[in-house]
Chain A
Amino acid sequence: MKTVEEIKAAIEVAVPGARAEIVPNGSPSAEHSLLLDAAHAFAVAKFLRDDAELKLDFLSNVTGVDWLDKETTEKVKVTHPVEKEVDGVKTIVDETVEETKKTVTPGYLEAVYHLYSMAKKHGPVILRIRTGNRSDKVELPSLTPIWRAAEFQEREVFDLFGIIFTGHPDLRRILMWDEFKDYPMRRDYVDPDDYEYEPTPHDEVLKRAQAHQAAAKTEAAQ
C-alpha cells in the first residue's frame, strides 16, 4: 500500500485546493493520520473510495475526540518604566518585573475515520477532520453519502460529542434520548444533579447524593 506521504501527495494532485497534513503518531503502532480541511473532506473521501489504486471501500470506524482549550502559562520578564525617588530627586527607572502570561489555544472537536480496503485488503488509512471550535463552529461534512457505514456512527458522534454533520440524511440522537440536552462524551461534561433516589450510594456518588439532598432541604425551607 502507499505510504501516508504518497497518499497525501495523491490527494493534493487529485483534489485541487485540498490540504492534507500528516499528524504523526508517537506510539509504536506508528499509524500516522491525515488531517483534512473540512471544506474539501467530502471530495477527498470520494477520491479515496474511488481511486483504482487505493480503493478504500470499507469505512471501519468513525469516532469523535474532544480536545479542550489549552491554557499555557509562562513567566515572562517585562520591563516597565517606573518613577522613583532617588536621593530626593524624581527619576524614571526601568524596572524588570516577572509576570505570568496566559495564552489560550482554542480547543476543537475532531472526527476520526479509519478506512480499509476490502477489495485490495490493505489499510488502515486514518482521516481526521477538525471543527473550528467547541461551541458554535461544530459543523463538519458528513461522509455518509460515501460510506453508509458512517450513518449510525456519525449519529453516535453527534449524540455524544455534539459535532453536527451537514448532509447526514437522518441526524438524530441515537444512544441518549431525544430530549437530552448535553453531550456526555465531552471532556468537560458534568453529570446532571439527579440524586433523588440512589439505592446504594458510596464514595463519590454518596457525596453528590448528600450535597443534592442538602440543597433540596434548603430549597424546601425557603
Chain B
Amino acid sequence: MSESLLETWNRPPVIEADGEGELLEISMGPHHPSTHGVFRMDVALDGERVIKLKPVFGYLHRNHEQIGQTVGYLQMMPYTDRLDYFCSLTNNWAYALTVEKLVGQAVPERAEYIRVILAELTRIQNHASTIGFLTQEMGASGTPLMYAFREREKILDLFESLTGSRLMCNYMRFGGCRVDMSEAHLNAARKVVAELPQFIDEFENLLTSNEILMARCQGIGVVKPELAVNAGITGPMLRAAGVNYDIRKVDRYGIYDRFSFRVPLGEHGDIYDRYMVRVLEMRESLKILEQALKDIPAGPFVDPKAKIRGFKPKPGEAYGRIEAPKGELGFYLISDGGTSPYRFRIRPPSFINLTILEDMCLGQNVADVVVIFGSVDIVLGEVDR
C-alpha cells in the first residue's frame, strides 16, 4: 500500500503539545467509575488537554460468536440478552428477525405489535438511564439518575410480569413471542405510557435549560456528519450530527410503516444535541406506543406452524438489522444446513460508535473525556461480547 493512500484515511487530527512541561500519560480505567464497566482509555495529557487517547477493550470478552456457533439457533436466544443487558428485548428482536429472514418465517400481526410495544418501552428506559448516567458524570450526584431509574423500574416491572425477568427477558421466538401479552399487561402498559409524558416534562424541566448541563455539553465532543457516516456511527449519535438515518424508517422492518412518528435530528453534533435527540426520541417512542397500544389486534402471538424441533435452516446466509436504542444492531448468520449456525456474527452498535472516541476527545479537557464517553452510550457487554 502506498504511503499516499494511507494518508487518505479519515484519521483523527494530530494535536501538538505546546512544549511547556512534560506530557502525562494516564490510564483511565478499567475500574474507573465513569467507564460503565471495565473499559480502559490510555490518555496522554498536555496539562489538561488530551493529545492522545487509545481505547482498550476486551476485559469482558466471552466470545459470544463462538458460543453461537456451538449451540442451536434457539439456544442462542438467552445469550443475546447478555449483549446489551439494558435492552435485552431489542437484542432478542434483532436475532429473531435475522433467523426469520434466514428461513423465510412470517410473523403474525399481534406478535409484531407486541414486539414494537416492548422495543419502544426498552428505548425509553434506555434513553432515560443514559441521560441519567450522563448527568451523573457531570457531577449531578444521583438526582437525575434516580428520577430515570424510578421510571425505568415501572417499565421493568412490566417486563417482569410478562417475561419473568427484569433484564434477561428471553422473550422473542422465531415467528412470534414466547407468551401472549394479556389484556391486563396491555392495560398496565397503557398506564405506564400515560404517566411517562409527565416524567419527561419533569426531567426536561430539571435538565434541558440547566446552566451546568449547557456549559458542560454545548460545543463539546463535536462530530461532523461526514465523519459520522464514514465511521459507521449509528443511532442517536448519528442523528445528533444531523444525518437523517433511522432504520425504523429506512428498512421499515416489522410494522413500523404503520405508525406516524418523526426522526429528531441535531444540528451541531455535540453532547447537548445527543442529549436533546434522546429526549425527543423518547417522546416519539411514546407516540408509537400510543398508536400500537390502541391498534393491537387479536390473534395468535406466535406462528403455530413455526418449526421448533429439528430447526435446520437451508444453507445460505442472512444479515438482519434493527434500530436498537444504541444504534444499528445487526446479526449475520451463515447456515450450512446444520442445527447451529456455521458463522454467527453480531454487529454491535456500541463497539463501532467508539471508533471516533479519540476524534471527539482530542484537544478537549480531561474532565470532558468522561462526559463525551458518557454521551456515546455504550454497554460493555456488547462492546466486548
Q: Which residues of A contact B (CB under 8 A)?
A: 25-29, 31, 42, 57-61, 63, 65, 112, 114, 118, 121, 124, 126, 141-142, 144-153, 160, 166-167, 169, 174-177, 184-185, 189
Contacts and interface: CB of A to CB of B under 8 A. Distances in A.
Chain B residues touching A, range: 35 or more
Contact of B319 (A61, A152, A185): A61
A147 B230 contact: yes
Main secondary structure of the interface of A (DSSP, over half): loop
B6 interface: yes
Contacts of A142: 1
A185 B229 CA distance: 29
Interface stretch (B75-83, B146-154, B159-167, B344-352): B344-352
Contacts of A114: 319, 330, 332, 347
Given A26-B314, A27-B335, A169 B102 contact: no
Contact of A145 (B6, B63, B65, B313): B6
B316 A29 contact: yes
Interface in B278-323: 313-319, 321
Contacts of B66: 184-185, 189
15 contacts: A27-B101, A27-B335, A29-B318, A42-B1, A61-B330, A61-B347, A63-B347, A118-B243, A147-B232, A149-B352, A167-B1, A174-B57, A174-B58, A176-B58, A185-B63
B181 interface: no
Given A60-B232, A177-B58, A31 B318 contact: yes
Contact of A121 (B1, B104, B250): B250
Contacts of A148: 9-10, 227, 230-232, 355-356
A148 B352 CA distance: 10
B5 interface: yes
Contacts of A27: 101-104, 313-318, 335
B373 to A, nearest CB: 16
B355 A175 contact: no
A152 B243 CA distance: 22
Nearest to B321: A60
Interface string B224-262: 000101111000000000010100001000000000000
A150 B355 CA distance: 9
B155 interface: no
B270 interface: no
A25 B65 CA distance: 21
A141 B319 contact: no
B319 A31 contact: yes
A10 B146 CA distance: 56
B5 A167 contact: yes
Interface in B338-385: 342-343, 345, 347, 351-352, 354-356, 384-385
B198 interface: no
B305 to A, nearest CB: 15
A150 B230 CA distance: 9
B9 A144 contact: yes
B11 A58 contact: no
B8 interface: yes
Given A27-B102, A60-B347, A126-B319, A169 B63 contact: no
A176 B60 CA distance: 10
Nearest to A65: B343
Contacts of A145: 5-6, 8-9
